[in-house]
Chains A and B, each alone.
Chain A
Amino acid sequence: MEFLFDGVLAITWQQCVMYAVGGLLIWLAVKKDFEPALLLPMGFGAILVNLPFSGVLTQEVANIGEATGIIQWLFEVGIEASEAMPLLLFIGIGAMIDFGPLLANPKMFLFGAAAQFGIFMAVIVAVLLGFDLVDAASIGIIGAADGPTSILVSQVLKSNYIGPIAVAAYSYMALVPIVQPFAIKLVTTKKERRIRMEYRQTGVSKTARILFPIIVTAIAGLIAPTSVALVGFLMFGNLLRECGVLDKLSETAQNSLANLITLLLGITISFSMKADQFVNVNTLLIMGIGLVAFVFDSIGGVLFAKLLNLIFPKKKINPMVGAAGISAFPMSARVIQKMGLKEDPQNHLLMHAVCANVSGQIASVLAGGMILNLVPKMLG
């Protein structure tokens, strides 16, 4: 009966740490409602993959041979081989997004660009902390505030830290309501936060809505060819939504497909949360750098809005709107609306913030494409 104790005797202290991490992620998901669709499967998966001789990982069984583990198989097929899971999730995300307000106000596209600044600040900080360029770039992409992009970029670059990067990306997305007000207040005055902005609703033709995803894909593809998969799948989902003849497919993409992939993505990514890879000082550093990325994303957006106010003083922009240029949709837009109302109960910034926030969705995948395009060239 000694075999009954094989598992217990094989538990390491690092695995115990991972059980605590898994428990913490489940607690954050259940009690705090922090990105529960991702953090709960990741938390449970973290426990599954760290049980000694876990059957969810491929094992060499004595006298039998190799026994394939389901989570390892899902990771190798769904993420490692083709990045299929994060890409398929983009179809669902694209189908969920209404780009209409942004199409009516195209200058807001630039806020999406400005709020990617945190990615690059995080890369610099990561390099200063001793990470090599590939890992630093993978860690920096946490600043895209976009889980699937973070997973995809770190996987394509073959980073050693996919697990901690995914955990940091999703955790900070959930913490946007705490991180952004802090960062915004660092670089704005009360007077600036009270700037009112007019919003005039203008209609967008169906032709424009249909052509938009095709044009965005073409432009992104020409500028950063490696972003085609990311942008293309996002825009394919949006085309399904806007074409008007594929409502059932659009609904499926928004609901069934997105839910199914989300469910599998969380538990699959836990493959990269094995104790021997996860429990080290670098994981803590990555969590810290992730915070830097989110703070500087917000600061980048705010400072860009302030710059525009200097150049065009007649039509002032509330600088807080710039911070909504991150991809965390719709949390960031809601945070800005709430902050605006707190400063001035008549100051409704929601629609402007939504425009910036939606532009961040495109800019974040473009940023992922830029990193994938530039980093290999630099190292080559």
Chain B
Amino acid sequence: MEQNLLYALELTGQGMGGIFVGMALIAIVTAILGKLTSKKK
């Protein structure tokens, strides 16, 4: 169980980190996209 707990903690760190990085990237690209396309208007 100790090994599984270590895995679960690692999964938490990497999983939450990955989701935040992914969503932050999407947010940044979306913001840039919004700026670019509104300028074209």
Question: Of all chain A residues, which has the CB nearest B32?
Answer: A106
In the complex, per-residue mask of A7-31: 1 if CB is within 8 Å of any chain B CB, else 0: 0000000000000000000000000
Which of B1, B5, B15, B38 has the most chain A CB within a 10 Å cutoff?
Answer: B15
Q: Which residues of B sit under 8 angstroms from A103, Cβ to Cβ? A: 30, 33-34
Alpha-carbon gap, A102 to B23, bound state (A): 12
In the complex, per-residue mask of A342-380: 1 if CB is within 8 Å of any chain B CB, else 0: 000000000000000001001100110011011100110
Alpha-carbon gap, A367 to B13, bound state (A): 12
In the complex, per-residue mask of B11-41: 1 if CB is within 8 Å of any chain A CB, else 0: 1101110111111111111110110011011
**By the criterion CB–CB under 8 Å, are A208 and B33 in contact?**
yes
Number of chain A interface residues as a range: 35 or more
**By the criterion CB–CB under 8 Å, are A366 and B23 in contact?**
yes
Q: Which residues of A sit under 8 angstroms from B15, Cβ to Cβ? A: 116, 119-120, 367, 370-371, 374
| Contact pick for A112, options B23, B25, B33, CB 8 Å | B23
Question: Of all chain A residues, which has the CB nearest B30?
Answer: A106
Alpha-carbon gap, A119 to B30, bound state (A): 26
Question: Of all chain A residues, which has the CB nearest B41?
Answer: A205
Alpha-carbon gap, A257 to B2, bound state (A): 45
| Contact pick for B30, options A109, A117, A133, CB 8 Å | A109
Alpha-carbon gap, A102 to B27, bound state (A): 9
In the complex, per-residue mask of A81-96: 1 if CB is within 8 Å of any chain B CB, else 0: 0000000000000000
Q: Which residues of B sit under 8 angstroms from A189, Cβ to Cβ? A: none
A207 within 8 A of B: yes
**By the criterion CB–CB under 8 Å, are B23 and A363 in contact?**
yes
Q: Which residues of B sit under 8 angstroms from A132, Cβ to Cβ? A: 4
| Contact pick for B11, options A204, A366, A378, CB 8 Å | A378
Alpha-carbon gap, A215 to B29, bound state (A): 8
**By the criterion CB–CB under 8 Å, are A124 and B26 in contact?**
no
Interface size on B, residues (CB 8 A): 32
Q: How many whole Å from A206's CB to the nearest CB in chain B?
A: 8
**By the criterion CB–CB under 8 Å, are B27 and A367 in contact?**
no
Q: How many whole Å from A324's CB to the nearest CB in chain B?
A: 15
Q: Which residues of A sit under 8 angstroms from B38, Cβ to Cβ? A: 203, 205
Question: Of all chain B residues, which has the CB nearest A359?
Answer: B23
A53 within 8 A of B: no
| Contact pick for B18, options A124, A362, A370, CB 8 Å | A370
Q: Which residues of A sit under 8 angstroms from B34, Cβ to Cβ? A: 103-104, 106, 204-205, 208
Q: How many whole Å from B34's CB to the nearest CB in chain A?
A: 6
A219 within 8 A of B: yes
**By the criterion CB–CB under 8 Å, are A116 and B19 in contact?**
yes
Q: Which residues of A sit under 8 angstroms from B29, Cβ to Cβ? A: 215, 219
Which of B4, B9, B22, B25 has the most chain A CB within a 10 Å cutoff?
Answer: B22
**By the criterion CB–CB under 8 Å, are B40 and A362 in contact?**
no
Question: Of all chain B residues, which has the CB nearest A367?
Answer: B19
Q: How many whole Å from A213's CB to the nearest CB in chain B?
A: 11
| Contact pick for A120, options B11, B22, B24, B37, CB 8 Å | B11
**By the criterion CB–CB under 8 Å, are B37 and A116 in contact?**
no
Alpha-carbon gap, A106 to B30, bound state (A): 6
Q: How many whole Å from B25's CB to the nearest CB in chain A?
A: 5
| Contact pick for B27, options A104, A110, A137, CB 8 Å | A110
Q: Kindly list the 7 A-B residue pairs having the minimum CB-CB distance in the complex, ordered from nearest.
A: A120-B12, A109-B27, A205-B37, A113-B23, A106-B27, A106-B30, A106-B31
Can you list 21 A-B pairs with a CB-CB distance of less than 8 A? A102-B30, A109-B27, A112-B23, A113-B22, A113-B23, A113-B24, A127-B7, A130-B1, A208-B33, A208-B37, A212-B30, A215-B26, A215-B33, A220-B22, A223-B22, A224-B18, A367-B19, A370-B18, A371-B15, A378-B10, A379-B7
